Amino acid sequence: MSRIPVVKKNHWINSTILGIGLASLCSDMGHEMATTAMPVLLAGMGASSAALGLIEGLSDGAASFAKLFSGHFSDRLRHRKPLAVVGYFVTAAGMASFAWATQWWQVLLGRMGGWMGRGVRSPVRKVLLAEATTPATYGRAFGLDRAMDSAGAMIGPALALLLIPLPRIGLHRIFLVTIIPGAAAALLIAFAVKEKPHEPGEKRAFIAGIAALPGEFKKFLIGVGVAGLADFSNTLLILWAAQAWASRFGATRAGRYAMLCYVGYNAIYTLCAYVAGGLADRWPRHLVLASGYAMAAIPALALMLAGNAVVPFLIAFGVSGIYMGLGETVESSAAAAMLPREVRGTGFGVLDTVNGIGDIASSMVVGVLWVVSPTVAMGLVIALTLTGAAIVAASGQRQMATTTAV
């Protein structure tokens, strides 16, 4: 097994990569403040795990289809960057709308609107990032972006924990505060990111654009899709921990402890995302990715045994940070290496949509199954994540065998 060539000169960091990374940090700071407080807001409304699963599933679904069409549309544009700027502003507005929500369906509408903006910007951001570096350093560039994104996701919940108890802010006004970092992210994309000249690709019909994607990328998508069916939203994990610990610590303290665990999750994710980027530039990306997927079985096993105990939930939050840091970084860098420039937006859009469809199914199904039986819910997660890991690993082996034969 040969390693991927390593670029020794550290010339891969530039203003565009830093600008995108800082935008990811600010945007995630804003919407993770909202995401962390959202389960507490819903619990106060009397919403169930099934309602939260529905909110997350439908929001991820809206984002997925926005990603698909945005990616395809961006391949036909001479300038993609304005599309990303609009997406960042829409996401910020959607999260701020929670401040006026009094019923769970209002949270659903705000979340769906914000996540559609997130979907519009996502494939464009990835294309801008890929074109700002070289194939030999895709892992490090995407790893830095994911690490900064996660740093924002770590800072956001921490700020929520600090600001919510303040009399002049409280639970509802914290959502208004999120507009500040969200708008800063849009301004960073607008003024700090330099877009390379892009000759619009051939104007293909939507289906024809998907059909033009490379065969190896389509095989890769199958494994990503199966593993994605096990990737339920972390807001469910926060809700489950808060509900389980309420009998031990009281509802208020349990909610704060659950949010604090989410801060820890994001700290671990931040470190692992950056490390994963370096691994992806040195070792076969399909094996790094398959290893990350397989690790998802560990938190699922811990949750099967959790009850109202603290340690199993700590294991679930911690190991989830490791495998999510590996998975999200390596998926993007592997896709960038497989996608030709003329269909790169479409490819990233399809990848994000496949992940989003998995999020829809997993958040909704796992949220409902947890109410019936946590053991059944986590058993399904384990089966799907291990199957997805096996498919990605086998697909990569076939690609290596083909390369060797040639």
Q: HEC states along 38-96?
A: HHHHHHHCCCCHHHHHHHHHHHHHHHHHHHHHHHHHHCCCCCCHHHHHHHHHHHHHHHH
Q: Which band of pLDDT confidence, cut at 50, 70 and 90, is reported for residue 396?
A: low
The yes or no reply on domain 15-195+206-405 and CATH 3.40.50.300 is: no
The Cα–Cα gap between 16 and 292 comes to 28
Query: What pLDDT, on the 0 to 100 scale, is given for residue 208?
Result: 82
Convert the pLDDT of each residue in 56-106 to its tens digit.
778 877 888 898 889 989 888 888 899 999 999 999 999 999 999 999 999
The Cα–Cα gap between 383 and 390 comes to 11
- 8 has a pLDDT exceeding 70: no
Q: How far is CA 342 from the centre of its chain?
A: 25
Query: What pLDDT, on the 0 to 100 scale, is given for residue 401?
Result: 41
The Cα–Cα gap between 19 and 16 comes to 5
Q: Report residue 292 as tokens.
A: 């990350």
DSSP string covering 168-227: TTHHHHHHHHTHHHHHHHHHHHHHHPPPPP--------HHHHHHTS-HHHHHHHHHHHHH
- Interhelix angle 15-44/179-192, nearest 10 degrees: 160
- 387 has a pLDDT exceeding 60: yes
Neighbours of 99 (CB within 10 A): 18
The Cα–Cα gap between 40 and 105 comes to 15
The residues, any chain, with a CB within 8 Å of residue 11's CB and separated by 6 or more, are: none
- 293 has a pLDDT exceeding 50: yes
Q: Report residue 398 as tokens.
A: 């076939």
Query: What pLDDT, on the 0 to 100 scale, is given for residue 397?
Result: 57
- 403 has a pLDDT exceeding 90: no
The residues, any chain, with a CB within 8 Å of residue 2's CB and separated by 6 or more, are: none
Helix runs in 281-310, H state only: 285-294, 297-304
Convert the pLDDT of each residue in 182-217 to its tens digit.
999 999 999 999 987 767 766 777 788 788 898 888
Convert the pLDDT of each residue in 320-366 to its tens digit.
999 999 998 999 998 998 898 888 999 999 998 888 788 778 878 89
Query: What pLDDT, on the 0 to 100 scale, is given for residue 163?
Result: 92
- 308 has a pLDDT exceeding 60: yes
DSSP string covering 88-112: HHHHHHHHHGGGG--SHHHHHHHHH
Side chain identity, residue 356? G
Neighbours of 39 (CB within 10 A): 28
Cα torsion 272, 273, 279, 284: sign: positive
The Cα–Cα gap between 117 and 85 comes to 10
- 404 has a pLDDT exceeding 60: no
Higher pLDDT: 4 or 144? It is 144
Least confident interval from 51-55, 129-133, 141-145, 334-338: 51-55
Higher pLDDT: 125 or 398? It is 125
Side chain identity, residue 217? F
The mean pLDDT of 220-247, rounded to a whole number, is 90
Which helix (H) or strand (E) segment holds residue 43: the answer is helix 15-44
Convert the pLDDT of each residue in 209-228 to its tens digit.
788 898 888 988 999 999 99
Mean pLDDT of the chain: 87
| DSSP single-letter state for residue 332 | H
Q: Which band of pLDDT confidence, cut at 50, 70 and 90, is reported for residue 6?
A: very low
- CA-to-CA separations, 33 to 29, 50, 145, 163, in angstroms, rounded: 6, 22, 19, 10
